Amino acid sequence: MRLCEEFKIVPLQQPEDPGAGAETFDSFCMKNYSHATIILLFGDNTADNALTIYEGDSDASLGAALTFSYRLSSAIAKAANADVLGTEATSAALTITAATYEDKMIVVEIDAAELTDGYDWITCKLDGSATEQFIAAVAILYPKYAGAALHTALA
């Protein structure tokens, strides 16, 4: 089995520092998918930010904030245990504390069954209070139907 043939891999945020101001990631559609795993990789971070994940009825729609489950890596990237995830927690607006999240990974899990009817789109947003915060993000989508991984989830 090859991951890219069984699941849809969607780039959400290129590795960059969005600078001051809110940063909205690319939206993706869950219409053909039953579950999303969003992986966020943080780099240098000078201040706290809040991560909110929205469901919406169209691309880039920020309809309603979702309560999502997530796990944080136990160590910074390239260190021993960087691939070990901590205890699962939930949040509707997760504070990304600079000292805690710098150079770490968050894995977010979202089930399509928990979305409001008609709200198939997911959008991640950082509030932008940090003047420097390097971040990259991808989503791995689990298809509802055989072959659905071939359909785009982007607008």
Task: Report whether 122 contacts 114 (CB < 8 A).
Answer: no
Torsion (CA) 85, 89, 93, 94 in degrees, nearest 10: -40
Please state, in angstroms and rounded to a whole number, the distance separating the CA atoms of residues 2 and 125: 30
Question: Tokens 């504070």 correspond to what residue?
Answer: 95
Ranges of residues in the chain whose predicted pLDDT is under 50: none
Cβ atoms 147, 8 nearer than 8 A = no
Q: Which CATH fold would you assign to the domain 3-145?
A: Jelly Rolls (2.60.120)
**Phi, psi of 24, rounded to the nearest 5 degrees:** -105, 125
| Maximum Cα interatomic distance, the chain, rounded to a whole number of Å | 44
What pLDDT does residue 128 have?
A: 73
Q: State the pLDDT at residue 48.
A: 83
Domain range list for the chain:
3-145
88/72 Cα distance (integer angstroms): 8
Residues 6+ apart with CB under 8 A from 3: 9, 140
pLDDT value of residue 140:
97
Phi, psi of 6 (to 5 degrees): -100, -25
CB–CB of 138/108 below 8 Å? no
pLDDT on residue 3: 86
pLDDT of residue 151: 83
